Structures are given as C-alpha cells and as structure tokens.
Amino acid sequence: MLVASHLECVRGERSLFRNLAFRLDEGELLYLQGRNGSGKTSLLRMLCGLLPPAAGEIRWKGETIGRLGEDYRRELCFLGHLNAIKEELTPLENLRASAKLADTPLDEDLALEALETLGLAGRADLACRYLSQGQKRRVALARLVHERKSLWLLDEPFVALDTAAVELVAGLIGAHLQRGGLAVLTTHQPVNIPAGTVRQLVLGSC
C-alpha cells in the first residue's frame, strides 16, 4: 500500500536522514521514533505530500503520491502537532468545519456523539478559547471517531492528553487498524495500541 524508498530529507544544510525505506500494508501500524530533531515530523510531512523529499519517492498503491495528488489526499487523514482549531469557534463548529473541508461531512448528531466520546459533552457550545490545552487536543482528535479514510498520519497524537484520553485514542487507532486501515504515528510515550503488525522506525540511526 504505502511504500517509501530511498527517502532523503534535507533541512537547511543538514541531511536529517537518507536512504530511508519502509513498506506498510493494510492493518499495519508504523511507529516513528527518534530524538528531537531527528526528522520525525519532516518524514510525516513528506508522507502527506507537504514536503517534497530531497531524494527518493513515496508510492501509494503503486503510484507516486505526487502524481495521485487529490486522489491521494482523499484517502489521507493528517493530524499535525498544531490542532488546526479556531479559538473563536465552538468544538462542534470546528469539528463540522474540518469534516466538511475533508469532504466527509458530519451531521450534527454524529459530531456531537464524537465529541461526547472524547469527553467533551458539556463543552460542545463553548468557544474553544476557554478550553484547556488537553481539551483542545481532544477537539482535534474527535475527527478520528468517524474518520474512515484509509491512511492516518498522526504527529504526536497523545501530547497533552491524560491517561484516560490516551487509552481512548489508542482504542480509536486500534479500531481503524482492525478495519484494515493504515496508520503512521510519532510519539515519545510508550502507548499500547491493539494492532496486528506493529513496525518501528527509529530515525537518527540510519
């Protein structure tokens, strides 16, 4: 499904990694690990197509992602380390706006249910600026509840979450993998995700 070969990442004048390769198939999870600045986020942005690799290529179902363009993005769900939520809007508005933008509109009931799952039941109508850091992260993660796109790229999804929420999100990712989805995530915390095949990629060592 997702195949990367000979990837090289150059930031400024430094080469962060080169000759990086991996393969990920249905139902598989890839953990990106490595110290700060080893290129985890850069690799994730390359996989999205935001950052063109200095060398090498990324293929999705046999076709390079550059050529697939919108067709690739239609199957992709990316969650950056920024939450991409608007402080002035309520969690409900944020969730529905981002779902519409991704061409997977949610009706109000489903959106409310998703927020409830993430423990934001009483906060759905409160502007996001009044929420705590962890609650804002939960708003961003609420997208995953009804997300059925096949490739999830998550940058530090567990940051700022309490243990209960971490378990919940791990469960969401697990369910996604069980449905035959793919997931790539970076994390510093050891999190137990129920998955068939877990691959690990440690950056900064190759």
Residue ranges that bind another protein, judged by CB under 8 A: 12-13, 48-52, 70-71, 73-74, 76, 78, 80-89, 93, 97-98, 100-103, 105, 127
Q: Which is nearer to another protein, 127 or 198 (CB)?
A: 127
85: three-class secondary structure by DSSP: coil
State the Cα–Cα distance between residues 34 and 188, nearest whole angstrom: 8
Shortest distance in whole angstroms from residue 87 CB to another protein? 8
List the 63-64 sheet strands across, edge first. 14-24, 2-11, 55-60, 63-64
Shortest distance in whole angstroms from residue 110 CB to another protein? 16
Residue 202, token pair as written in the block: 């440690």
State the Cα–Cα distance between residues 124 and 23, nearest whole angstrom: 39
Q: Which is nearer to another protein, 73 or 146 (CB)?
A: 73
Shortest distance in whole angstroms from residue 111 CB to another protein? 13
Q: Which is nearer to another protein, 9 or 172 (CB)?
A: 9
Q: Which is nearer to another protein, 86 or 146 (CB)?
A: 86
**Nearest to 43, CA basis, from 26, 24, 18, 68:** 18
